[in-house]
Chains A and B, each alone.
Chain A
């Protein structure tokens, strides 16, 4: 007897179940779809606000992966000066960071500085090849941030650039204006070296006079003016000539030729120059006193600068306007007119008028004038209107009948006078000139539109060179579009700084270094608004397994044969990098 056999033919016991070999291919679930999810990268508010249009969300994403080189290169596509901007930029990007509504904005500038310094430490070179050499040559007047930026981008685009600098060393306001406790000279020098290495010639000690300008016009196909505002405006008060010019004062300090200070130094004005002067004064042993005609919150200086200055013990007199400067032996007698507030202007700033009969007189060691500055020469001012004038973002271009193009940039044009606006101005000038030389003036407007970040400005060199794989949607990611379920509250990194007592004794850099680990942690706080960081939520949550991970690249795509259009992927995308659209019939 066979083992296990018990006299029943087990195979005859019936089993009748539902089983089918028919194909279901004819009714793929994708045919049910009425809504269609798509990957659609959007614009982060930080990028749209950064005058240089840096791809900040992607920089943070690369940072979290430890891809420091790639992150640094991503900055370099839009801004040649990460080490500088990481230190001196007033980072408007952080003011619009979506994280602000969640806990605190990401310390974007801290990471930018880290990347710039890190790339220098490892001696990285800009990643891109210069474009094919062009025959056009461009003269750049001034080696401040706008001029250097123009040289950098134009050189990259294949143009030969010569920079003419009046001072013995390049850098403009970066070199002569910004004190080294904010921007050490070595940092500036190494980022300028990077531009020189690209083949840009910087000819220092060669000021451009009107006659020399005419000569340049004959030798070059285009001129860029980035010579900035080097002369203080007039106060029109008696004894004004006895006041020291703020920019000159800062330049003297940089030259290691400081004034001997021990008494009160009155600084007239409320802009960044006034703040820088005051902070230098305290470091040189003087007692700075800022005199400003309106309120503290109306000062044009960047808020953080004002805050740091006050922390350092700088005195501020609000509602005083200088009336007269008189020599009094070794010191000066400064007469100040009391002002009173009569209302608010459309920007919310105080409107003031002199309060008759109320004045105050003080004796000071020195008076420094740090009010609005202006162009040194009238020919440096941009033309206002006319058929040959094109107004661009942060620069103005005029085309002479001869075909010579002149672009005015930097502080000569900018509404907000900042380093990053100057850099943007140089980039925009480069794009405009490239469009002009290659496609003619009529192509300029359309060319800019194509490379706008968001709706523009800013404008992106990466987009201009069409190196971005698919164009990003101009729509700017709002906080409400972030799926905050996927983020934890985490405090912003605290910038380690010199103690106040140490700060006011020297010109050492105030902001100390931050480690790679802490920088990565900070970058992890970024929502990466609008860009895919391959978190795979879409892949994990798709009930139809219709999200396909491509083996070849970092990308995902949707298999529309099976996607039912439920939209779960779009809802679960933490960072609004997907969109649900009505299915096109």
Chain B
């Protein structure tokens, strides 16, 4: 059934349909609507989950670690500072191989206080062992959330479904909400591979000496690698039941392209419009949307763009002292193949600044004009500022 709803509600609908058993969260803008919807569902009986209120995001994740260890389906949601506060337990959830699912609404980190979209919060958690899936629109948010449970429970790694603040979380769009029967067909109830059992007690995650720790880490890496292959199969099944698929990466008009944009999140939609426009001007331009950031789909990227001349990576994030984080990852993916495209890294739209079609067109012409990047990271649209402390 199609309904016009907020991206936040799309998440909540997916959580309801997934029959999550334990939810724990702490409110933070712009995530708040998600947990508000879910708490309402729990209060009115639309969901049968146990909703646990806690005093911090750190505790929210701790609650879910306990619940998931006990063998139930779990969900939380947060943003920015909240995610940063969870950091320690993000490692724990992954290392303990617990299939926790989280909706992460990208918001800039403070200071200065900024509630608008920016990917640095989720990307700075890239080494925690969480699978990360970035979404472009509300339909994708709903579908990806459903898929996240299936993936997490199969490979025993937690999954972060990432959506842009406001552009997605607070924007109303038409979303096809699947029937419960369809979802049940795609997502069976959770059967944990291991769980806490009072009748057969054991210690979980106790001291692991050097003789076993490294194997445990390699085992997590193997699970990540399997996820790349496994994700395709999950999408096949999702497509069979619900008729939609997205891909870990999506190539748009890349076959004959000389220059391609590489994007993630909502800027992809803007970029689709821009390449249509440029194609009409007979520019050989394409687009590669990266949905899956962890595991990073290195093989797919190599296969899809090795023949293009230049790649313009759009980063709404930044790793200080280095460059945009997607650009880093793309460069790293390509460096060991001969005659790979030249990678131009563009930093745009931090702290929720608008990325208009004009901005992307400028980036295209800039990329076309230069044989090699003038600098490793090109900041777009910077205003002249005098170096006064007070700005607002």
Residues of A within 8 A of B (CB): 3-4, 6-8, 10-11, 13-22, 24
Residue of chain B at shortest CB distance from A21: B202
**Contact yes or no, A15 B156, CB < 8 A:** yes
**Contact yes or no, B156 A13, CB < 8 A:** yes
Residues of B within 8 A of A11 (CB): 193
**Contact yes or no, A17 B186, CB < 8 A:** no
Residues of B within 8 A of A6 (CB): 233-234, 236-237
Residues of A within 8 A of B97 (CB): 15, 17
Residue of chain A at shortest CB distance from B215: A16
**Contact yes or no, A24 B187, CB < 8 A:** no
**Contact yes or no, A19 B203, CB < 8 A:** yes
**Contact yes or no, B206 A18, CB < 8 A:** yes
The one of B156, B226, B237 in contact with A4, judged by C-beta atoms closer than 8 angstroms, is B237
Residue of chain A at shortest CB distance from B212: A18
CB-CB under 8 A for A19 and B204, given A4-B187, A8-B230, A13-B223: yes
- Give 25 CB contacts A-B under 8 Å: A3-B185, A3-B188, A4-B185, A4-B188, A4-B237, A6-B236, A10-B154, A13-B156, A13-B226, A13-B230, A14-B219, A15-B97, A15-B194, A15-B219, A15-B223, A17-B95, A17-B96, A17-B97, A18-B212, A18-B216, A19-B203, A20-B202, A21-B203, A22-B203, A24-B203
Name the 4 nearest CB pairs between A and B, nearest first. A16-B219, A6-B237, A4-B188, A18-B208
Residues of B within 8 A of A19 (CB): 194, 202-206
Asked whether any CB of chain A lies closer than 8 Å to the CB of B319, the reply is: no
How many A-B residue pairs lie within 8 Å, measured between CB atoms?
Answer: 64
Residues of A within 8 A of B212 (CB): 18
Interface string of B371-391 (1 = CB under 8 A from A): 000000000000000000000
Asked whether any CB of chain A lies closer than 8 Å to the CB of B363, the reply is: no
Asked whether any CB of chain A lies closer than 8 Å to the CB of B174, the reply is: no
Residues of B within 8 A of A13 (CB): 154-156, 223, 226, 230
Residues of A within 8 A of B204 (CB): 17-19
Q: Taking each of A6, A7, A10, A11, which has the highest tally of chain B beta carbons within 10 Å of its own beta carbon?
A: A6
Residues of B within 8 A of A7 (CB): 233
- Separation in Å of the A524 CB from the closest CB of chain B? 30
CB-CB under 8 A for A15 and B193, given A4-B188, A6-B237, A7-B233: yes
Would you list which residues of chain B between 135 and 170 have a CB under 8 Å from chain A?
154-156
Query: Chain A binding site: helix, strand, loop or mixed by DSSP?
Result: loop
Asked whether any CB of chain A lies closer than 8 Å to the CB of B207, the reply is: yes
Interface string of B239-282 (1 = CB under 8 A from A): 00000000000000000000000000000000000000000000
Residues of B within 8 A of A (CB): 95-97, 154-156, 184-188, 193-194, 201-208, 212, 215-216, 219, 222-223, 226, 230, 233-234, 236-237
**Contact yes or no, B207 A18, CB < 8 A:** yes
CA distance A4 to B95 in the complex (A): 27
**Contact yes or no, A17 B202, CB < 8 A:** no
- Separation in Å of the B223 CB from the closest CB of chain A? 7
- Separation in Å of the A385 CB from the closest CB of chain B? 74
Residues of A within 8 A of B155 (CB): 13
Residues of A within 8 A of B96 (CB): 17
CB-CB under 8 A for A18 and B205, given A4-B188, A13-B156, A13-B223: yes
Residues of A within 8 A of B208 (CB): 18
Q: Taking each of B186, B203, B205, which has the highest tally of chain A beta carbons within 10 Å of its own beta carbon?
A: B203
Residue of chain A at shortest CB distance from B226: A13
**Contact yes or no, A17 B205, CB < 8 A:** yes
CA distance A7 to B233 in the complex (A): 8
Residue of chain B at shortest CB distance from A12: B226
CA distance A168 to B201 in the complex (A): 81
CA distance A24 to B206 in the complex (A): 11
CA distance A3 to B258 in the complex (A): 44
- Separation in Å of the A18 CB from the closest CB of chain B? 4
CA distance A18 to B203 in the complex (A): 8
- Separation in Å of the B295 CB from the closest CB of chain A? 14
Residue of chain A at shortest CB distance from B204: A19
CB-CB under 8 A for A17 and B223, given A4-B188, A8-B233: no
CA distance A357 to B203 in the complex (A): 98
CA distance A448 to B151 in the complex (A): 79
CB-CB under 8 A for A17 and B236, given A8-B230, A10-B154: no
Residue of chain B at shortest CB distance from A4: B188
CA distance A13 to B234 in the complex (A): 14
Q: Taking each of A7, A15, A22, A24, which has the highest tally of chain B beta carbons within 10 Å of its own beta carbon?
A: A15
CA distance A360 to B223 in the complex (A): 111
Residue of chain A at shortest CB distance from B95: A17
CA distance A14 to B205 in the complex (A): 16
Residues of A within 8 A of B234 (CB): 6
CB-CB under 8 A for A20 and B206, given A10-B154, A14-B222: yes
Q: Taking each of B156, B184, B215, which has the highest tally of chain A beta carbons within 10 Å of its own beta carbon?
A: B156
CA distance A17 to B185 in the complex (A): 30
Residues of A within 8 A of B216 (CB): 16-18
Residue of chain A at shortest CB distance from B219: A16
CA distance A6 to B147 in the complex (A): 13
Residues of B within 8 A of A15 (CB): 97, 156, 193-194, 219, 223
Residues of B within 8 A of A16 (CB): 215-216, 219
* Further 18 A-B residue pairs, CB within 8 A, beyond A11-B193, A13-B154: A3-B188, A4-B186, A4-B187, A6-B234, A7-B233, A13-B223, A13-B230, A14-B219, A15-B97, A17-B95, A17-B216, A18-B205, A18-B207, A18-B208, A18-B212, A20-B202, A20-B203, A21-B203
CA distance A18 to B230 in the complex (A): 25
CA distance A11 to B155 in the complex (A): 9
Residues of B within 8 A of A10 (CB): 154
CA distance A18 to B212 in the complex (A): 9
- Separation in Å of the A562 CB from the closest CB of chain B? 16
Residue of chain B at shortest CB distance from A24: B203
- Separation in Å of the A314 CB from the closest CB of chain B? 64
- Separation in Å of the A67 CB from the closest CB of chain B? 37
Residues of A within 8 A of B188 (CB): 3-4
Residues of A within 8 A of B206 (CB): 18-20
- Separation in Å of the B384 CB from the closest CB of chain A? 54
Residue of chain A at shortest CB distance from B216: A16
CA distance A15 to B205 in the complex (A): 13
- Separation in Å of the A23 CB from the closest CB of chain B? 10
Residues of B within 8 A of A21 (CB): 201-203
CA distance A10 to B237 in the complex (A): 14
- Separation in Å of the B280 CB from the closest CB of chain A? 40
CA distance A3 to B188 in the complex (A): 8
CA distance A15 to B201 in the complex (A): 19
- Separation in Å of the B203 CB from the closest CB of chain A? 5
- Separation in Å of the A42 CB from the closest CB of chain B? 38
Q: Taking each of A3, A14, A21, which has the highest tally of chain B beta carbons within 10 Å of its own beta carbon?
A: A14
Residues of B within 8 A of A14 (CB): 219, 222-223
